[in-house]
Amino acid sequence: MVKLAAVTFFGIVFLLIGILGFVPGVAPDEMLFKIFHVNAAHNVVHIVSGIIFLLAAAAGAGAARTWFQIFGISYAIVVIWGFAVGTGNTL
């Protein structure tokens, strides 16, 4: 039950972050809450991640666990890549 609550929580948070990234008043100059750099691609990735979190919660504990593992590994790779490359356009 805790896994389902956690995956639902993360789904809602990621959906909200993705949606708020598109709101000019909340993300002026592509800075969400004047702290986090965002753009349309970031927002879409957050929205899609949130939707998958919620779908995993609906599918059950096994799906939630699998999605947390996939999500964790994927985002860890992105973080390592970001630290390795530094600032600027990485693609």
Q: Residue ranges per domain, the chain?
A: 2-85
The stretches of the chain forming alpha helices (DSSP H) are 2-20, 40-59, 61-85
To the nearest 10 degrees (0 to 180), the angle between helices 2-20 and 40-59 is 160
Neighbours of 87 (CB within 10 A): 7
Collapsing DSSP to helix, strand or coil, 28 comes out as helix
Here the tokens at position 69 are 């593992």
pLDDT tens digits, 10-69: 999 999 999 988 888 877 888 887 777 888 888 899 999 999 999 999 998 888 888 889
The pTM (predicted TM-score) of the whole model is 0.79
> How far is it, in rounded angstroms, from Cα 33 to Cα 77?
25
